[in-house]
Structure 1
Amino acid sequence: MAEPILPGPLAVRVRAPAKINLTLRVGRPRPDGFHPLATVYQAVSLYEEVTASPADPGVIEVRVTGEGAEQVPADDHNLAHRAARLLAYQIGEPLGVTLRIEKAVPVAAGLAGGSADAAATLVACSLLWGLGLDHQDLLPLAAELGSDVPFALLGGTAVGSGRGESVAPALARGNYHWVLAFADGGLPTPAVYRRYDELGPTPPDPFEVSAGLMNALRNGDAEQLGRELINDLQAPALDLMPSLRKLVEAAEEYRALGVVVSGSGPTVAFLVASQADAVDLTVALSASGLCRSARYVTGPVTGARVLPT
């Protein structure tokens, strides 16, 4: 890990994207308690923003505004706080930072908003503290912080393995139109995995991403991709939040190309053919009473990136 080089700028602003899982296959728990995953991530145009500014040595302060800010801890239970602390620990210096997080991703929604905050924090603090670290340098720390943090650094479309932290860019073409339907309330990821284990599913065989999905991405074929969407955590998410069933079933009525619960839920992602279809579906879902709100996004987008301050 690099040593501090020069004092950094007075403030650094970084944004990082939410993700959806185009496919998520889940195996039985490993001895360490984590479930092995075979997944394909896609970063979408819904962003968290983190602004890092100097603080006294050893002081890490977190301030949160925006979507669900009242639900987000500001202490070391916050993943961005932990990211800053981990980076300072690796450097071996009592570095300080104030982190201002502007949230747009709902909390506990299966979209990895907290992971996006952590990825943005690693990039922002590296610049603020003059460490000279690039995304590749930060990937090992991102993997320590959580399964989705490395992907939030990289963005795009990528295949994930291990517990999700090992990511490799996927050969993919085209841009995709998604409508995200946000449910009332959240689903904590550990609770969904516990329910998955309680339901006693048979792990997928073979335990890998389907060739059909990868072909769809290589060809930029949205219709085929819609048919290939699958999530092994969808059943436990629907079991824990039965109201999601009507939302998933609405895909046929609204003529979506495909539908899937993202990650551990409860956000439901609808794939549609065009921007016009996405706008129509966003309006329809918002008025349906089936969800709290809906938002049109596109993917893939880049990972954590520095913005002008």
Structure 2
Amino acid sequence: MTIAAADESVHVRAPGKINLFMRVGEAGADGYHDVATAYQAVSLYEDLRAWPDDRISVSFTGTVDTAGLPTDGSNLAVKAAKLLAKATGVPEGVRLEITKHVPIAGGMGGGSADAAATLVACDALWGTALPREELHALAAKLGADVPFALTGGTAIGTGRGDRLSPALATGSFHWVLAIADHGLSTPQVYRELDVLRVEEAGRPMPWSAPAGSPSVDAAVLHALRAGDAAHLAAALHNDLQAAAVRLSPSLAELIDLGEQAGALAGIVSGSGPTVAFLAESSEDAIALQVGLSAARITAVHAHGPVHGARVLPV
């Protein structure tokens, strides 16, 4: 008997992510950029509950402002449910209720986590039991970060970021996430990077396009393997950071503030504007969180790596 037949709900939790490293190639003819990134899933989660229904719908609550989120067919969770239904021939619907904690348009893949959680929840609810490889293939159709939200842990992403290979990370890394009160459009940040590169043509800059295909620096992999936070801090890099800072100049001041308050390093995650500060230990992260909070910065302590989207007891 499937879960749907028993009229029970499914609870899935999916993590947000940090881009520890991000190198961005030149824009292709289709306007997209090849990237090489090191992802780490962290303990800031989206919680999704799914119930059997005669149609596909989604609603939101959470610790972030969800008022502006679409709930129609443009929503990534709705797209994920429809994609799985079409791929498996399932006629049923689903009612999705998502409790969001990952910042919206914050560079931490909250929408991608919602989509990954939906795939896992509907697969369980409808009893389709797709192999992980098939779920991964569906995830890749939904967006570059969705496959990683499905797998979690620490991984290297290439292509659009959806071609994943696991990366060994020893122990746990402690982060303080400074969450902005505004979002940034990912396409706009990429466009701004393109503009920066044109303006700085002929001058080597940290965000200059790599020669050939982008790749993740070996120093990142060595630091992860050793579980060495100080070495990882020295290797953190994001080509998109300069573009995000130009669009939101206060990010530069925020990074300086966090590093002066004791962070080993701060980095804009993905396209921003969330800034991830790496701390030496859990105790240091808590002290940093308190310091940022005293400066009226919304700050959350998280650790990684953590599991990808998975079913939890209801």
Q: Partners of 1:46 and 1:5 in 2: how far apart?
A: 30
| Count of residue pairs brought into register by the alignment | 302
Matched residue of 1:36: which SS? strand
Q: Specify the alignment match of 2:48 in structure 1.
A: 50
TM-score, normalised with respect to structure 2: 0.93
Q: In the TM superposition, what is the alpha-carbon distance from 1:95 to its structure 2 partner?
A: 2.4
2:67 pairs with one of 64, 70, 81: 70
Q: Is the 8 A contact 2:14 2:113 kept in 1?
A: yes
Q: Specify the alignment match of 2:310 in structure 1.
A: 305
2:22 pairs with one of 24, 42, 52: 24
TM-score, normalised with respect to structure 1: 0.94
Q: Is the 8 A contact 1:152 1:303 kept in 2?
A: yes
Which amino acid is the alignment partner of residue 177 of structure 2?
Answer: L
* Greater Cα offset, 195-204 or 21-30: 195-204
Q: Per-residue CA shift, 1:86-113, capped at 9, x if unaligned?
A: 1111123332110001101110000000
Q: In the TM superposition, what is the alpha-carbon distance from 1:142 to its structure 2 partner?
A: 0.2
Q: Partners of 1:101 and 1:22 in 2: how far apart?
A: 27
Q: In the TM superposition, what is the alpha-carbon distance from 1:202 to its structure 2 partner?
A: 2.6
Q: Per-residue CA shift, 1:27-47, capped at 9, x if unaligned?
A: 111222211000000000000
Q: Per-residue CA shift, 1:26-72, capped at 9, x if unaligned?
A: 0111222211000000000000011111111xx11111111221121
Query: Where do 5+ consecutive residues of structure 2 fail to align?
Result: 198-206
Q: Is the 8 A contact 1:17 1:43 kept in 2?
A: yes
Which amino acid is the alignment partner of residue 173 of structure 1?
Answer: T
Q: Specify the alignment match of 2:157 in structure 1.
A: 160
The reply to whether residue 250 of structure 1 matches residue 266 of structure 2 is no
Q: Give the 5 Å matches for 1:120-269.
A: 120-200=117-197, 202-205=208-211, 207-269=214-276
Q: Specify the alignment match of 2:80 in structure 1.
A: 83
Q: Is the 8 A contact 2:116 2:309 kept in 1?
A: yes
| Sequence identity percentage | 55
1:93 pairs with one of 90, 93, 96: 90
Q: Partners of 1:28 and 1:190 in 2: how far apart?
A: 14
Q: Partners of 2:90 and 2:275 in 1: how far apart?
A: 43
Q: Is the 8 A contact 2:16 2:149 kept in 1?
A: yes
Q: Partners of 1:12 and 1:134 in 2: how far apart?
A: 18
Q: Is the 8 A contact 1:179 1:296 kept in 2?
A: yes
Q: Is the 8 A contact 2:262 2:284 kept in 1?
A: no
Q: Partners of 2:13 and 2:247 in 1: how far apart?
A: 32
Q: Is the 8 A contact 2:2 2:125 kept in 1?
A: no
Q: In the TM superposition, what is the alpha-carbon distance from 1:308 to its structure 2 partner?
A: 1.1
Q: Specify the alignment match of 2:203 in structure 1.
A: none
* Greater Cα offset, 100-109 or 132-141: 132-141
**CA-based RMSD:** 1.5
Q: Partners of 1:199 and 1:6 in 2: how far apart?
A: 52
Q: Per-residue CA shift, 1:188-242, capped at 9, x if unaligned?
A: 1111111111112531246210011111111111110000000000000000001
Q: Partners of 1:204 and 1:30 in 2: how far apart?
A: 14
Change (3 A) 1:278 1:5: closer
Q: Is the 8 A contact 1:8 1:127 kept in 2?
A: no
Q: Partners of 2:313 and 2:152 in 1: how far apart?
A: 19
Q: Partners of 1:218 and 1:52 in 2: how far apart?
A: 37
Q: In the TM superposition, what is the alpha-carbon distance from 1:253 to its structure 2 partner?
A: 1.0
Q: In the TM superposition, what is the alpha-carbon distance from 1:7 to its structure 2 partner?
A: 4.7
The reply to whether residue 272 of structure 1 matches residue 242 of structure 2 is no
Query: Where do 5+ consecutive residues of structure 1 fail to align?
Result: none
